[in-house]
Amino acid sequence: MSRLPMRVTTMVLSSFAMIGCASLAAPDASSSAAPNASPNGSPNAAPGAMSTAKKADVPMLGNEVSGTELTASGASTLYDALVRTRRQYFSARGVNTMQVPAHDQILVFRAGMLMGEINVLKMLRPTDVRFVRRLSAVDTYYKYGKQVTIGGLEIELVNE
């Protein structure tokens, strides 16, 4: 049985990855080439309509959630909206959490001050929030001086 050299295998896999990335970037390239034509061929459609639709299908991950995304979830409380959009915000992380569960809750901060724990999110509406940012335990300690094992959430309201 003949075995391909590692360099050839790496080059083949890299080319497949680049082809996949190029196919995702193609709608943006075509819309910038012809400003009045859309990727699907209709001249009256918005130039970036196809690329926007593809971006909306991708599940959002990251440390920040916008208020529009929270409002679009259809939830009545901020807690429910965060559970629907970013369930991973409420999971305990780290190697030790499997053996010793976290004994404290996520802290909620607004305008540089501690609002309380997770139950505060059940009193706020998603329409009142501009964004919610997830803080790690280290960020929570260095930014607010609070030592927790899970971390915190930073909230900015619309009227701030």
Q: Between these two residues, 14 and 28, which has the higher pLDDT value?
A: 14
Give CA separation, 23 vs 26, 35, 60, in Å: 5, 20, 20
| DSSP three-state, residue 130 | strand
For the chain, what are the domain ranges? 6-57, 64-157
Give yes or no for residue 27 having a pLDDT over 50. Answer: no
Q: Between these two residues, 37 and 112, which has the higher pLDDT value?
A: 112
